[in-house]
């Protein structure tokens, strides 16, 4: 944690396009467990380790990518690329994060019967999926932690509230997220925080 590029302290360090391509190609295409788990890995890489974006920029990119149509992970990568290097960064991040996994999907589709008939392949996959469960749960904590500490009352309302809306009222996730956005906008703001610079 004594890393000099630690995010949050000092201005973000903007990467080269090649560095963007390298990080997104490596980390956006190697994590099982779906988009959010992958975004948690990317958060560790581009915020904590490399300091390309700040904690506020991460929240901005992540929250808005959840409200963008299509695949959230790719929207997050595009947003992070745009935040660091504008449109070229956005396009490089989008291609780097979507092309390798697409090629892999084509290869697996072409050889589906052979691969899925192999017990060893299945065994390796089983292990990777078990790790994915752990990654998803830890991801929830990685995202929520700074806000649970900064705004514990919000966390106490929003987290159980969101779960109840999905399990009880069967709302779709995007509706739950939009309701959370509305709750955040109308949430009473402490007097000291309303002073604009």
Residues within window 92-121 making contact with another protein, judged by CB under 8 A: 94-95, 97-102, 104-106, 108-110, 112, 115-116, 119-120
Among 10, 87, 88, 114, binds another protein (CB under 8 A): 87
3 touches another protein (CB under 8 A): no
Minimum CB separation of residue 114 from another protein in Å reads 13
User: Is the Cβ of residue 15 or residue 83 nearer to another protein in the bound state?
Assistant: 83
Nearest-approach distance from CB 15 to another protein, in angstroms: 17
Write b or e for each residue in 39-66: b if 16 or more Cβ atoms lie within 10 A of its Cβ, otherwise e. bbbbbebbbbebbbbbeebbeebbbebb
Site residues (CB under 8 A) for another protein, limited to 168-197: 170, 172-174, 176-177, 179-181, 183-185, 187, 189, 193-194, 196-197
Region 24-63 residues binding another protein, contact defined as CB under 8 A: 27-36, 38, 40-41, 44, 48, 56-57, 59-63
CA angle 101, 124, 116 (to 5 degrees): 70
Longest CA pairwise span in the chain (Å): 64
Count the Cβ atoms, other than its own, within 10 Å of residue 182.
10
């Amino acid at each position: 944690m004594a890393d000099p590029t630690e995010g949050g302290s000092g201005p973000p360090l903007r990467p080269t396009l090649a560095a963007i391509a390298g990080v997104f190609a490596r980390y956006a295409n190697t994590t099982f467990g779906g988009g959010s788990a992958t975004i948690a890995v990317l958060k560790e890489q581009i915020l904590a380790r490399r300091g390309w974006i700040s904690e506020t920029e991460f929240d901005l990119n992540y929250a808005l990518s959840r409200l963008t149509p299509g695949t959230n992970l790719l929207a997050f990568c595009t947003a992070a690329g745009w935040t660091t290097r504008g449109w070229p960064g956005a396009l490089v991040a989008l291609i780097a994060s979507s092309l390798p996994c697409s090629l892999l999907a084509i290869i697996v589709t072409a050889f589906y019967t052979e691969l899925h008939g192999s017990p060893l392949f299945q065994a390796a996959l089983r292990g990777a999926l078990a790790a994915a469960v752990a990654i998803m749960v830890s991801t929830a904590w990685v995202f929520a932690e700074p806000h649970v500490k900064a705004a514990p009352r919000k966390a106490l309302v929003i987290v159980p509230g969101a779960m109840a809306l999905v399990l009880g009222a069967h709302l779709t996730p995007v509706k739950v997220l939009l309701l959370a956005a509305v709750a955040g906008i109308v949430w009473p703001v402490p007097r000291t925080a309303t002073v604009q610079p």
